[in-house]
Structure 1
């Protein structure tokens, strides 16, 4: 530790650069430890910094040829002489000390010349790589950051420019660019490019438009302006730091106020505003031993689901797939309907608010495709508890269930053909497998309602379960009866893993045919027209 009249100076040596960019970058082995020398300057007028005090991090550049030194501020030049040069004892004694005792001691750079040269340019002599393709001029092992379009007859390069400039839009901190007006490396068009692109991308500061990027051009100075116009640069930096520190302090105050106004426990949970987007009960899931119970809870909409709800339920089943101690999932609904399928009113509302219809329909298609694939690939035992009628896409999905229990007033309806769309949810395969070809044709081609009795007779439904109250909207009582039956049927199984080992993967070749047929129908525009007609009341819904 050293000191001066203004600073207490602490020198640190820190191990660094454990991840190396280039092979043979260290003197001996790849395990050599490099060290970073850091000087910490603590102002004597503020020996004990407080929260809110500034810390300034400064990184110096490389050395410069002699021609530049002549224009430097005398204070900068004095420090260069003091710290950048060293006596050359070897050169001094070549001709004998008695011949040169009255001459000044020769000097050389404190940093070895070869190291200085290596910092200015990296050679690329051995290109391309021996195993490179006929049109590949690179060696990705030794020169992964060399842009082949920048190769010249002078075999040296610096990778920073091509690597850093594309990253300027993502720069988060505020930036002050200081240039000398006579700099031949900071021409107006180059300065404009940097000012125009810095911080403008997602994740960046907002750029000049947000007041986070500034530019200062100091007249009469060259590219070495920090060494030539020390006072001018210091004034500009001090003014900029004052503005930035005020902005930062205000941001910190807002965060502290927000944090201080919340009870301590609130930091371990989500904000109340989350509940606006995830209303209570709309996506319910709870565990009962090794069984997960997933409930569709929109009884006021007959459990009709929009694209967001499909996405949410897809995430639920993804999570269940990853949960090792869950071997069964029970899917059910609340109220008198299991699910009325897709929420048509939500689709029409999106159309009415100027949403690009083709984009909306395509987005819905891919959302449905994702959820279909999740149900097909679900490796746990899927039990469907149909508390009431099931319609459309929801009806198609539940056909992927391993066991289906139904309330007596259940029916299945898939009005795909009346809406001008192809079958969804892999129904063209699963319905044939579960209903038989005759009933599958009635359901898919004729959009015929299939009653509970027909579902049981065809084997689509395993068993009819009655709610204790006998009321069609007693979904709670119905679910309790279903869970009791599940424990009765599967409680004697020796191990839950044996259940999963018996569940076979479903071949999805026919499902793929259906998916691409659905995409083709979307592009015709017919589904859009039919949805709009229902939304405007010009066509009666099958319900």
Structure 2
């Protein structure tokens, strides 16, 4: 498989383990239009790659992914129809993550926020640096958490806790996230690479067909939940893309001030 077509993702395959790195370190790996498009195709390519048995997803530099690029959000406000492509890609990202039969390990090297959190939480096993924080602050920018967050958080930590964090947008430290079952492990940052490599190697050396089929079986109920809710979730996010509160939040972010929401 030729991964050279990817410019925002660095894809390396070594000993049947593919490492996918979001590669915008100077921007904390926030998703712009190009990265979002590439995320909607990479997991399909990895499924087709017969030289890959295990996938690791991580970010370059200090962050896993700090969410969405604010300039890209402004573009979607200025040209509402452009969000149609974003909406379609958002569904493909989640569906392709679930359809990838090979185990996916999230190596959360730094903050995972918004879409970054969604990507991490839809992976099969999640290791995070103790210094990382995880959260879905869509509401902080006047957005519905429609790209998957509203679905995956309740699956992992229950509805009461999920709604608290989705309603407030508060970030959670990695150790607390592990304690409540949002992620698997919070580890010292200097140990993160080794812990992930050891676990990836264990899966690579395991009965890979049995592991794949176990993932398929385990994901059946999750897929049912996602397919039942994803269209509605992303439709509500599309509505808020055109809202006055979202426009105000984006403007406030760019002007480095506190947004004044009016519920419109």
CA RMSD of aligned residues (A): 2.5
Structure number with higher helix proportion: 2
- Gapped regions of structure 2 (runs ≥ 5): 260-264
User: Is the contact made by 2:121 and 2:183 (CA closer than 8 Å) also made in structure 1?
Assistant: no
Tell me which residue corresponds to 2:262.
Answer: none
Count of residue correspondences: 249
The alpha carbon displacement at 1:445 in A equals 0.8
Distance 2:124 2:200 in 1: 12
1:492–1:375 CA distance, 2 compared to 1 (3 A): closer
The partner residue of 1:496 within 180, 190, 208 is 208
- The TM-score, its normalising length taken from structure 2, stands at 0.84
Report what 1:366 is aligned to: 88
Taking CA–CA contacts closer than 8 Å with sequence separation of 6 or more, which of the two structures ends up with the larger relative contact order? 2
Question: Would the alpha carbon gap of residues 528 and 361 (structure 1) be closer, same or farther in structure 2, given more than 3 Å must change?
Answer: farther
Q: 1:533 to 1:357 in 2, by over 3 A?
A: farther
- 8 Å CA contact 1:357, 1:528 repeated in 2: no
**1:458 and 2:184 matched:** no
Alignment of 1:409-424 (within 5 A): 409-424=131-146
Distance 1:531 1:401 in 2: 29
Cα 1:366/1:535, change in 2 over 3 Å: farther
- Normalization by structure 1: what TM-score? 0.43
Q: Distance in 1 between matches of 2:61 and 2:169?
A: 24
User: 1:306, CA displacement in angstroms?
Assistant: 0.3
Q: Distance in 1 between matches of 2:251 and 2:85?
A: 17
* Contact 2:106 2:127 (8 Å CA) reproduced: yes
Alpha carbons of structure 1 residues 321 and 373: separation in structure 2 relative to 1, 3 Å: same
1:483 aligns with 2:202: no
1:459 deviates by 1.4
CA distance change for structure 1 residues 315 and 492 in 2, over 3 Å: closer, same or farther? closer
| Residues 103-150 of structure 1: CA deviation (Å, up to 9, x unaligned) | xxxxxxxxxxxxxxxxxxxxxxxxxxxxxxxxxxxxxxxxxxxxxxxx
Given that 2:146 and 2:236 are in contact with CA atoms closer than 8 Å, whether structure 1 keeps it comes out as no
Question: How much does 1:382 deviate?
Answer: 1.2
Match of 1:316 in 2: 42
Question: Could you say which residue in structure 2 is the equivalent of 1:529?
Answer: 248
Residue 539 of structure 1: CA displacement?
3.2
Unaligned runs of 5+ in 1: 1-273, 469-476
Structure 1 residue 446 corresponds to structure 2 residue 149: no
Deviations 1:303-336 (A, max 9, x none): 1120111112322222101113322210011222
- SS of the residue corresponding to residue 432 of structure 1 reads helix
